[in-house]
Amino acid sequence: MAEKDEEKEKRKIKTVAKMKEIMTAYYIDAKTAGQTGKKVAWITSGGPVEPLIAMDVIPVYPENHGAMVGASKMGADLCGKAEAMGYSSDLCSYARADIACAPINGGPIGGLPRPDMLVCCNNICGTVMKWYEVQARFFKVPLFILDTPFCHTGFSAEAKRYVKGQINEYIAFLEKACGKRFDYDRIKEVGRLSVQGQRLWQEILDTAMNRPAPISAFDAFFHLALIVTLRGTQQTVDYYKMLLAEMRQRVSEGIGAVPREKYRLLWDNLPVWYRTKWLSEKFASHDACLVADTYTSAWCGALRYVDENDFLGSMAECHTRIYLNIGVDEMARQVIEMADKYDVDGIVMHSNRSCKPYSFGQYDIQRIIREQKGIPTLMIEADMVDERSFSEGQIETRIDAFIEVLKGKKS
Amino acid sequence: MKQIEECYQILKDPNGYVKRFKAESGRKVIGTFCSYAPEEIILAAGAHPFRLFGSGEKIRLAEAHLQSYCCSLVRGALEDALGGRLAFLDGVVFPHTCDSIQRLSDIWRLNVPACFHLDLILPVKLDTDGARQYMIDVLRRFRGELGEKLSVTISDEELRAAIRICNRIRAALTRIYALKGERPEILKGSVLYALVRAAMIMDRTRAASFLEEVAAEMEKESTSKAAAWPKKRIFLSGGVCNHPDIYTIIEEAGGEVVGDDFCTGSRYFSGLIDEKADPVTAIADRYLERVVCPAKHRGLTNRADHLVRLAREKQARGVIFFLLKFCDPHAFDYPYLKEALDQAGVPSMLLEVEDRLSADGQLRTRFEAFVEMI
Ligand code: SF4
Ligand code: SF4
């Protein structure tokens, strides 16, 4: 038994403690903004946070909050409350949970700090725009929408002009909301730190190319919080340096995220927040490691379009050409690229009732992968926050059967 | 009215109608989704815009591409395409609206190879100068791309002629709706439904004169003395409505439909296009200024203001929300629209429909209860 604990201890990621510390300090900072005179902006996960940092505005992420609601298993209750307010049970559960939290300060941290402004970028979905309209009416605060035209087959010159123009509108919006001038020198520094943070995040995810992978997608779901929330700060850069060092150390010592890594899998779509532990143990029990995922890697996908010397100028392209804002065939291409890079044996797709733009098209992606690579795929039906849509028995059976398929292929 | 008979014939088999029309006129047929498809440009290219709704066939083939939590409009249209029922289409146009249509466009492009495919990536927010410029740019691009696909150049003159036809249709439907609101008993709700629907399917030149005739006849009839009229005035709100039956059920329950803000209703035809301005700019302005669909943004209370204003104007006693299940944009707006109506003292009820209407008896009881209450 003692030996077993030791084994477990060895596998624990040590920087986790530091992460919890940073996030706690951040939420305290945000929750006390009213007393310290700082402004708070709510922003979508795909939104441009750097200008906020440059303006000393505290960014708050309702989606991150949604994930916390899910992980604390408060999703079903809050989603039910939203339904009582008239919101259909078919809407995104992040939105439902957040809308239900606002009037009652509900959720695991007693509600999010009141926003002074809302910043919504529709590069991930149309849901966020509707959701932020609801909150703008509720809190009676100004809303800025960064409208990033969808790139079915490419990014047109007109679209580029349109988004570029909006970056200036965004800055004007912030100047008005904050009552001060935008600092163009400061944004250069913030931009540099943001790019550095994204590169480090990519490097961390890339350590999973090793066998065994020192980090799994389940770990990445957790460590993602900083690149989403505090991108563009020194703190984030320092933290990811530490995490990267730890991962490299693990690689050199041959420590894997899963004790006897045999099968390497790729995860698609958002996590099932209320079941990450169960799922990770389930896969580990089959010696399967989720070595990569399409979700956490979205926060370094923009690296291919960023221009470090013209951060603001390249922002339009970075925010428009992200993973969810492109056509299904391009998504399939990127999934295949990842499958090759991380050398995976199978792909697990979460068909997520909450997220239509992420989930519709998955069947075609599955087909394309099968045709082009012959890699087995597993489709799991669930929801990221609303645990009422999770059927444990059914999913367990499907995972077991899937592993049998992989076994058959390996032997 | 004989025009109405013509309408019913078309709606009985829209695909059959359009196939015949195509053979006779030699026009190319372009399938469109949603009321943001600029029919003017398609007409100006000498082609025929044909709105796709999904014929309501059982979903089999589309199952392999779209999960069960996708709205019946999107699944139904794909089912028709995969089943070969839309093989007469020369092309299809996807205006960017909701997340589901957005993905349908991709899936269609990858799986329905026979017809050409154009995406029209409209702005989502419509209330800024930048968005207006982008809208104009996108429509210009569309004019060029569509011309290329059809091997024609679309002249300003042709655009103006198409705008005039569309304006005639819009003006006629506006008159018909106004008359229906004033004297609901002179036109059955199911007929109103049939008229708007046919206008999205049939030859537009024919539609324009035919709707003008209907409006003129209604005007004549409306001069007759109004009968004492005990029915309660109902306004409908929602997205796509494929169910003419609800009008009849409402009428039988003691109500009378006096107007709607459906995308297959008044949102389709409200707002005329300036016939003198630069045509593309004028088209852009109409789509920017028209009352928005919930997948677009034009201020925080635009839709509620509009709904309350219309309900008052039409002296509606109550509003029935008719929403498609799994339709996110409409579902997000429902609570605030309802609240705005509550504050204005207008009672409302919600009817959520998957694809078929629920057993008729149950619906009848709900409508009766609502009509009685208001
Ligand atoms: S989960 Fe999907 S629908 Fe919900 S906010 Fe995120 S991207 Fe949008
Ligand atoms: S707006 Fe609603 S009904 Fe229309 S396609 Fe989208 S989800 Fe379906």
Residue to probe by mutation, ligand 1, list A43, A94, A150, A228, most atoms within 8 Å of CB: A94
User: How far is the C-alpha of B92 from the C-alpha of B321, rounded, in Å?
Assistant: 30
Residue to probe by mutation, ligand 2, list B67, B69, B71, B330, most atoms within 8 Å of CB: B71
Sign of the C-alpha dihedral computed for residues B162, B168, B169 and B174 taken in this order = positive
Beta strands B232-238 and B255-260: pairing type? parallel
Q: Which domain holds residue A147?
A: 7-183
C-alpha distance from residue B185 to each of A295, B179, B191, B231, B374 (Å): 57, 10, 12, 9, 19
**The tokens of A283 are what?**
């896969």
DSSP 8-class letter at A183: -
The torsion angles phi and psi of B324, rounded to 5 degrees, stand at -85, 135
Tell me, using a 6 A CB cutoff, whether residue B103 lines ligand 2: no
**What residues contact residue B275 under an 8 Å CB cut-off, 6+ apart?**
B160, B163, B164, B167, B282
Specify if A351 maps to a domain.
no
Specify if A88 maps to a domain.
yes
Specify if A393 maps to a domain.
no
User: How far is the C-alpha of B332 from the C-alpha of A131, rounded, in Å?
Assistant: 7
Write out pLDDT tens, residues A302-350. 888 999 889 999 999 999 999 999 999 999 999 999 999 999 999 999 9
The answer to whether the CB of B310 falls within 8 A of the CB of B270 is no
3-state secondary structure A323-368: HHHECHHHHHHHHHHHHHHCCCCEEEEEEECCCHHHHCCHHHHHHH
Question: What is the rounded end-to-end Cα distance, in angstroms, of chain B?
Answer: 33
Span from the CA of A132 to the centroid of ligand 1 (angstroms) = 12
Write out pLDDT tens, residues B241-295. 888 888 999 999 999 999 999 998 999 999 999 999 999 999 999 999 998 999 9
Specify if A262 maps to a domain.
no
What is the CATH number for A101?
Answer: 3.40.50.11890
User: How far is the C-alpha of A355 from the C-alpha of B156, rounded, in Å?
Assistant: 42
In this complex, the residue of A127, A133, A134 whose CB is nearest that of residue B328 is A127
CA angle A193, A198, A202 (to 5 degrees): 145
- Looking at the CA of residue A270, tell me the nearest atom of ligand 1: 1
Query: Inter-chain contact B67–A363, Cβ cutoff 8 Å?
Result: yes
Write out pLDDT tens, residues B311-344. 999 999 999 999 999 999 999 999 999 999 999 9
Specify whether the backbone of A232 is left (phi greater than 0), alpha (psi in -120 to 50) or beta.
Answer: left
Specify if A62 maps to a domain.
yes
Residue B120 three-state SS: strand
Q: How far is A381 from chain B (nearest CA, A)?
A: 10
Q: How far is B54 from chain A (nearest CA, A)?
A: 18
Task: Decide if A351 touches B, using CB distance below 8 A.
Answer: yes
Residue closest via CA to ligand 2's atom 3 equals B327
Nearest chain A residue to B303 by CA: give it. A133
Specify if A109 maps to a domain.
yes
- pLDDT at residue B360 tops 80: no
Query: Inter-chain contact B300–A153, Cβ cutoff 8 Å?
Result: no
Span from the CA of B53 to the centroid of ligand 1 (angstroms) = 26
User: How far is the C-alpha of B33 from the C-alpha of B16, rounded, in Å?
Assistant: 19
Specify if A127 maps to a domain.
yes
- Checking ipTM against 0.90, whether it exceeds it is yes
How much is the pLDDT for B362? 85
How much is the pLDDT for B229? 67
Concatenating the DSSP letter of every residue in A271-318 gives --GGGHHHHHHHHHHTTEEEEEETTGGGGTGGGGT--GGGHHHHHHHH
In this complex, the residue of A122, A166, A364 whose CB is nearest that of residue B65 is A364
Residue A399 three-state SS: helix
User: How far is the C-alpha of A388 from the C-alpha of A358, rounded, in Å?
Assistant: 20
User: How far is the C-alpha of A328 from the C-alpha of A332, rounded, in Å?
Assistant: 6
Helix, strand and coil percent figures for chain A, each rounded to 5: 60, 10, 30
Task: Decide if A149 touches B, using CB distance below 8 A.
Answer: yes
Tell me, using a 6 A CB cutoff, whether residue A325 lines ligand 1: no
Specify if A151 maps to a domain.
yes
Query: Inter-chain contact A356–B99, Cβ cutoff 8 Å?
Result: yes
Span from the CA of A93 to the centroid of ligand 1 (angstroms) = 8
pLDDT by position in tens, chain A (length 411): 455 678 788 888 999 899 999 999 999 999 999 898 999 999 999 999 999 999 999 999 999 999 999 999 999 999 999 999 999 999 999 999 999 999 999 999 999 999 999 999 999 999 999 999 999 999 999 999 999 999 999 999 999 999 999 999 999 999 999 999 999 999 999 999 999 999 999 999 999 999 999 999 999 999 999 999 899 999 999 999 999 999 999 999 999 999 999 999 999 999 999 999 999 999 999 999 999 999 999 888 888 899 988 999 999 999 999 999 999 999 999 999 999 999 999 999 999 999 999 999 999 999 999 999 999 999 999 999 999 999 999 999 999 999 999 999 877
Q: How many domains, chain A?
A: 1
How much is the pLDDT for B56? 83
Q: What is the pTM of this model?
A: 0.96
Residues from chain A contacting residue B64 (CB–CB below 8 Å): 363
DSSP 8-class letter at B35: T
**What residues contact residue B15 under an 8 Å CB cut-off, 6+ apart?**
B55, B85, B86, B88
Tell me, using a 6 A CB cutoff, whether residue A273 lines ligand 1: no
- pLDDT at residue B113 tops 90: no
Nearest chain B residue to A330 by CA: give it. B106
